[in-house]
A = this chain, B = another copy of it.
Amino acid sequence: MIRVGIVGATGYGGRELLRLFGGHPEAKVVAVSSTTAAGKRLQDELPGFGKLLDLTFETFDANGLAEECDVVFLGVPGTESMGPGAELRKAGAKVIDMGPDFRLRDAGTFKTYYKKDHAHVDLLGESVYGLVPWNREALKGADLVAVPGCYPIGALLPLKPLLATAKPSVPVVIDAISGISGAGRSLNQGFHFPEMNENVWAYKLGVHQHTPEIEQELGGGVQVQFSPHVGPYTRGILSTITLRPSEAVDVAACYACYDDEPFVRVLGEGDLPQLAAVRATNFCDIGWVMDERTGNLLVVSALDNLMGGTAGMAIQCMNLMFGVDERAGLQTGGMTV
């Protein structure tokens, strides 16, 4: 049994880990820490886990966690995982960070988008970007994993196979819409139920912090025009990508690279994905349409931001790190209703 610790276990990413580890045959959560809930029993804070997990939230203690756990997941807000991450690495723990702190290679870009100096620049080289289908081998030996952002997963999985053969002639337009769980637990007037219900809006156009992450991982100087939105639902990101290829591209051939990927499903031309098929799964579904009239390629991806976009991808990384079947604990079908 892999002994798992979770830091920030009351957040939505942390809760999703707790949920998923309940069905994992080779791992077990043995420690949970939380700044807001330290000292409380897990089931008192999260009644959905009563009679399932008998744990008490602890204050964060790197050495203690390194001793009790084989791996520690970080589910804390952006810019708050670099400290605990560094401490845990120093104490010898393997670390899987679901936040943004170890994703960007360039500390200057980090500062521009996260408005904070990076306190552990040395670790930026050590961390492995946990986009499993593209970094599988590196993840097997990783000690520090940066789980990709939810939007970047929905953009990178469909885009990376295409860019190898077709360079876009103008910035790639990525219009994505996320459920509100992506914004986390923090209260906000805009996410108060009566104000978010029946509401949709766009935000951070051109300046969202996932923009440099997507561009870094696409490489080759490709620019993206990333326009995130939120809509009145809890889970899921649908990304609609408009790419203007500079030359003809055989999309089906490009996507053949995913034939054996356990959690990427290519639906084919004209068969567009929807959130219902990926809810509560680790899958990213991809479909496309080539519009010959305009010369644009439209690609659509769907994933569950909390599972395939965060906690599920994180567990898949863990499975690779510990040499167990990478699908372990992740093979349930979706809650189609």
* Chain A residues at the B interface, C-beta cutoff of 8 Å: 12, 15, 18-20, 22-23, 25, 46-53, 169-171, 173, 175, 177, 179-181, 185, 187-189, 191-203, 205-206, 223, 225, 227, 229, 231-236, 238, 240, 242, 244, 262-263, 265, 267, 272-281, 283, 285, 289, 291, 293-296, 298, 300, 302, 306, 329, 331-337
Contact = CB atoms under 8 A, between A and B. Distances in A.
A296 B197 CA distance: 30
A200 B223 CA distance: 26
Contacts of A177: 177, 200, 229, 231
Nearest to A235: B198
Contacts of A197: 180, 193, 232-234
Contact of A171 (B294, B302, B334): B294
Given A20-B332, A198-B179, A272 B205 contact: yes
Given A177-B231, A231-B232, A333 B198 contact: no
A240 B267 contact: no
Given A177-B229, A189-B185, A337-B181, A48 B201 contact: no
8 contacts: A19-B334, A48-B333, A173-B175, A198-B235, A200-B231, A202-B238, A206-B296, A227-B298
What number of copies of this chain does the assembly contain? 4
Nearest to A172: B294
A12 B192 CA distance: 12
Contact of A47 (B206, B285, B294): B285
Nearest to A175: B175
B298 A205 contact: yes
A229 B238 contact: yes
Given A192-B187, A205-B272, A335-B19, A200 B294 contact: no
A22 B173 CA distance: 36
Nearest to A25: B25
Contacts of A227: 175, 240, 242, 298
A333 B192 contact: no
A149 to B, nearest CB: 18
B337 A12 contact: yes
A307 to B, nearest CB: 9
A50 B334 CA distance: 10
Given A205-B272, A225-B296, 4 more contacts: A19-B280, A53-B333, A199-B274, A280-B335
A333 B231 contact: no
B276 A195 contact: yes
Contacts of A192: 185, 187, 191-193
Given A47-B267, A240-B175, A198 B234 contact: yes
